[in-house]
Amino acid sequence: MSSSNRKSSDSQTSAQKRVVYSEFGNGDNSAAFERPIAELPSNQQNLKVQASRKGRKGKTVTVISGFQVKPETLEALLKQLKTQCGTGGTVKDNTLEIQGDHTQKLVEILTKLGYKAKISGG
């Protein structure tokens, strides 16, 4: 009986460690699935600034798109822009959304920071 108990405990540990299929080895390959982000200097980025109301229940939001930077850099830039505009905002899908219509002000601020920014849309 003691041998059957030992077998069941051994089979449980081996079942937890058992790999059914592995094509490229046994390592953790999570880093291989992450997309590399090319961090371009600010003077090489073409940004589009536009005011939008779509899907926001009539509230106007200024959307800045065209960034090619890391998320940490985007968060720092967002914080700086929010303080200079005196409003809230968020980062969504490599775009910045700032509450209110601040297109002119944001274009001026971004050009002072070295970005190539222009107003897009009507």
Q: Is residue 73 packed enough to be buried (19+ CB in 10 Å), middle (13-18) or exposed (0-12)?
A: middle
Do 21 and 65 belong to one domain?
no
Do 27 and 46 belong to one domain?
no
Lowest-confidence region among 8-12, 72-76, 91-95, 109-113: 8-12
pTM over 0.75: no
Do 104 and 71 belong to one domain?
yes
Does the structure show a pLDDT above 90 at 14?
Answer: no
Do 49 and 26 belong to one domain?
no
What is the model's pLDDT at position 42?
80
What is the model's pLDDT at position 44?
85
Do 63 and 99 belong to one domain?
yes
Distances (CA, A) of 88 to 4, 19, 53, 61, 66: 65, 48, 16, 10, 20
Does the structure show a pLDDT above 90 at 49?
Answer: yes
Do 61 and 78 belong to one domain?
yes
Do 87 and 29 belong to one domain?
no
Where residue 73 sits, what CATH number does that domain have?
3.30.780.10
More confident residue, 97 or 56: 97
Query: Which residue range(s) make up the domain with 109?
Result: 42-119
